[in-house]
Structure 1
Amino acid sequence: MRRLLLSAFLLIFFVPSLQAQFLTRERVLNDENFDKKPWSWGYYFGVNRYDFNFDYYEQRPDIFVEQSYGFNVGLLGNKRINDYLDLRLEPGLVYNGRNLIFTDIPGEDNDRLRELNSTYIHIPLLLKFSTKRLNNFKPFVVGGVSYSYNLSSNEKNPDDNSAGQFRMTNNTFYYEVGFGIDLYLPYFKFSPSIRGVFALSDELVRDEDPNSLYTSNIEVMQSRGIFLNFTFQ
């Protein structure tokens, strides 16, 4: 996670800092009318890293989340509102894998481990707040809400943890906040950005047994993640 954040900061801030040294010089603007279009389109791809946030009824050993990197890819539709504000829709596909390790459950390692490989149809609706364009770059912050449908949730699966199956809800709502920079290149606009994604709803489908060692002590289970996206328009 630290390496991902460090790479994002270097990518987003190092390039503009170099250009800022030459702001007093007259420079050729690449596609200077790009942001005046009422609509623009593009695509993105990137990497993600998901975690879970747990709230418990009783104080017991925490459930350990073993994280891994996933990927995200999708399309972008951008509606210009004014010089500093845009509304954008970014439907895409997100894949990620997480392992849950229940450290307080007795038995074999297989009894303590639950593998969660999730494939989401992810649909963010975001507001993008930009600064004034400086030569060929423009920093921005972005925020909004999103919805995802988990194709691998097993919500309707009749088997639960008694049969080795951990279940999650199909539908989840999130809020998202992030920042990035638009780089105006000769033939397209390239925008690296980093974004935090935080679930608003409980994603846990509880076991049939109200005393289940896996789910009975979980009050709320919510995903949270970091997206590093590279957008081309």
Structure 2
Amino acid sequence: MLTDEQKRTRAETRHRTAALRAEEDALRREAKRCEWHEEDMFLTREQAAAGELCRGCGLEVIDGLGSWPPLMHLSPEQRIEHDAAETRYKQLHPDCRAHRWSIDGSRTTHCGLCCPPVPFSRSQLDAVAKILDGHVRRDEELDIWALDLTCGHRVEHNVHHTQRYWVGSTTHCPECSMTRGIVTSERNVEAADRKKELEQRRAADVTKAEREVAKAEKAAAAAREKLAALKAGQ
């Protein structure tokens, strides 16, 4: 029977091991991105449409076969083809531990670690711009999260209060100047508290401004009286 201390120690060990694994994967991805840029491995949208092969895995980016139907709707022939493609993918990327990507209207799947992505189309860029257009940051709606990293440093990030748990396994450490794994995450300040604090600060600023206005008005009244007295004595 484990004691509470032993359970806590085991949990901390699991969290740290997972964070170190995530950090390793993130650094591998960053190294790959540097390689893609240094070796000029990115295809343009036009090159991919013209049939040029992926400069990572050597397969087509746009194969013109159309997207796969939902798995439950695959015909027997499509199922055989799909399973063969899945087997080939696993042989090419046995330990990449990365996401997969493909182009709409194409069945060839590419690896997020090995295969440089193709730029967004104009319609995709317009859709993203439409989502982001008019977005206004409101600090009073943000929670402050403290993240303990594998290097021992702690960093803070602001996220919207609707995010009830921390999303992500790595982040940039400004002290190390590199990506680190997140061992633990903790919400330090909630948006409701920040909003209340902001309202109190605004109320204090309003009170201060009112005192300054009253003081200025009193000084102006005194100045007018002095001016009237001077004119009366002329």
TM-score (norm 2): 0.19
Higher helix share: 2
Higher strand share: 1
TM-score (norm 1): 0.19
